[in-house]
């Protein structure tokens, strides 16, 4: 055996402390993964398991006495589908508005030739620390005639300042000034440069903004609770809240059952089932933006 081979073996040989350290890391990471994933897994198997088995503690790894009664009642209920439709509308329209305003503001603030950009940025940052509060905001929404409309859930939060900062950092670090100068020499206007050059080169940060805003809109229920009185405009999350907190499942979907025990049993199935139904759209969308998500966050959050 050559001397070089022996030296390489010495270099690659790991000490006992390194192996212990790796084992502890693997154990801690596995424990964290279990703590995060198991509650989600439990909700899935509980949504089609017999609630009596859940109460008795027999459902923890595999479903017991499989039943799809909860899902059947969910899919038959008109309010659930109405909430689903409303949430989709609020999420799509709200995300388009949010992303459009955020990217335009971030790009403008990333330009060094913008007069007074430091003052404008300071005013943006002020809103992160100080706000008018719930009552003044409600009065503004009311005076603008936005109550009981979808715009009450979209326009008051059209821009998130933190997202503007992340996008601004991305533009400053990823779009060189030389590119703008070359485009201007070819007669390109600022608006055309933004739409034709900047946006196609900014797919990672666009995907990040879409995911951030879409998740926020989809999970939001508090604004709807404050600004909406018409049940036909309720998003899915508000209906879900009513089921989980106010126990309205008994009146919404199981009014045909007379026994209190039967109502409680089906109510539990509905609660777990609605959580799954509400989570499916985001689980479907995320894999398509994941590759851009990590890259956009790293570039927008670290560089600059």
| 200 alpha carbon, distance to own chain's centre | 23
Q: Which of 250, 238, 296 is nearest to 84 (CA)?
A: 238
Taking only the tens place, the pLDDT of each residue in 33-44 is 888 888 888 888
Taking only the tens place, the pLDDT of each residue in 120-162 is 989 888 888 887 788 888 999 999 988 998 899 999 888 888 8
Q: Which of 14-23, 50-59, 182-191 has the lowest mean pLDDT?
A: 50-59
CATH 3.90.180.10 is held by the domain 69-302: no
Q: Mean per-residue pLDDT for 49-59? A: 76
Kindly give, in sequence order, each residue whose CB lies less than 8 Å from that of residue 302, ignoring residues fewer than 6 positions away. none
Question: What H or E segment, with its residue span, contains residue 102?
Answer: helix 78-110
């Amino acid at each position: 055996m050559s001397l070089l081979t022996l030296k390489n073996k010495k270099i690659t040989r790991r000490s006992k402390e390194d192996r212990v350290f790796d084992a502890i890391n693997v154990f801690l990471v596995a424990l964290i993964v279990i703590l995060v994933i198991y509650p989600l897994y439990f909700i899935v198997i509980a949504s089609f398991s017999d609630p009596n088995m859940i109460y008795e503690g027999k459902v923890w790894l595999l479903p017991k006495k499989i039943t799809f009664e909860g899902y059947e009642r969910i899919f038959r209920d008109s309010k659930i589908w109405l909430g689903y439709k409303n949430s989709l509308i609020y999420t799509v329209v709200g995300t388009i508005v949010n992303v459009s305003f955020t990217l335009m503001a971030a790009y403008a603030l990333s330009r060094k030739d913008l007069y007074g950009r430091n003052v404008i940025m300071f005013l943006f940052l002020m809103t992160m620390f100080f706000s008018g509060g719930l009552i003044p905001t409600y009065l503004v929404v009311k005076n603008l005639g936005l109550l009981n409309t979808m715009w009450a859930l979209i326009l008051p939060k059209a821009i998130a300042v933190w997202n503007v900062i992340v996008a601004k950092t991305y533009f400053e670090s990823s779009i060189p000034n030389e590119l703008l100068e070359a485009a201007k020499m070819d007669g390109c206007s600022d608006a055309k440069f933004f739409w034709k050059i900047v946006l196609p080169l900014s797919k990672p940060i666009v995907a990040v903004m879409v995911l951030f805003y879409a998740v926020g809109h989809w999970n939001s229920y508090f604004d709807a609770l404050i600004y909406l009185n018409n049940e036909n405009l309720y998003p899915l999350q508000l209906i879900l809240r009513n089921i989980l907190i106010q126990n309205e499942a008994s009146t919404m979907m199981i009014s045909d059952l007379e026994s209190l025990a039967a109502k409680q049993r089906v109510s539990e199935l509905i609660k777990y089932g609605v959580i799954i139904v509400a989570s499916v759209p985001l689980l479907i969308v995320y894999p398509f933006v994941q590759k851009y998500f990590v890259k956009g966050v790293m570039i927008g959050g670290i560089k600059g």
